Amino acid sequence: MAISSKFGWGLVLTTSFFVACNESNPAIEASADASLPLGQELYALHCASCHGESGDLGLSGAKNLKTSALTITEIKDIIKSGKNGMPSFRGIIGTGHHIDSVANYVSNLHE
Ligand code: HEC
């Protein structure tokens, strides 16, 4: 009896550990979704919190990316260096190839 109740608790603890782990790792979940193009996936992960999924949310003073008319080079500079209320994503998004993908995605949000 004593042994089986210890085993029961171990099982409960192990299960809740895995649940907590999944919840605190949105990055891993998002990158597991291979159906999204890289730029869109990175945008959803790093940018949509302020700019919104379609670019016009405007949270924390974020510029509307639908009406923004920046070149790809200018977009990449802002992603790498940040601007006023926008943090720099240098070293967060990863290699130049990743930044290129996000910048291309952002320039396509423009209507
Ligand atoms: C913490 C909120 C926040 C996040 C996250 C964020 N931005 Fe911004 N973004 C801003 C703010 C605020 C501005 C306005 C900066 C200014 O000009 O004062 C801005 C401006 C921009 C601009 C310039 C638009 C223009 O016409 O001047 C671009 C492009 C942009 N963001 C792209 C991105 C991308 C791409 C990401 C994700 C990698 C991102 N932002 C993540 C807040 C954010």
Q: 21 and 66: one domain?
A: no
Q: 50 and 103: one domain?
A: yes
CA geometry: angle 68, 72, 78, nearest 5 deg: 70
Site to substitute for ligand 1 among 66, 78, 79, most atoms within 8 A of C-beta? 78
CA geometry: angle 12, 13, 18, nearest 5 deg: 100
Cβ atoms 79, 35 nearer than 8 A = no
Q: 5 and 52: one domain?
A: no
- pLDDT tens digits, the chain, 111 residues: what are they? 555 555 555 544 444 444 444 444 444 444 445 568 999 999 999 999 999 999 999 999 999 999 999 999 999 999 999 999 999 999 999 888 999 999 999 999 987
The confidence score (pLDDT) of residue 100 equals 95
The confidence score (pLDDT) of residue 3 equals 55
Check pocket membership of 44 for ligand 1, CB cut-off 6 A: no
The confidence score (pLDDT) of residue 94 equals 83
Q: 68 and 105: one domain?
A: yes
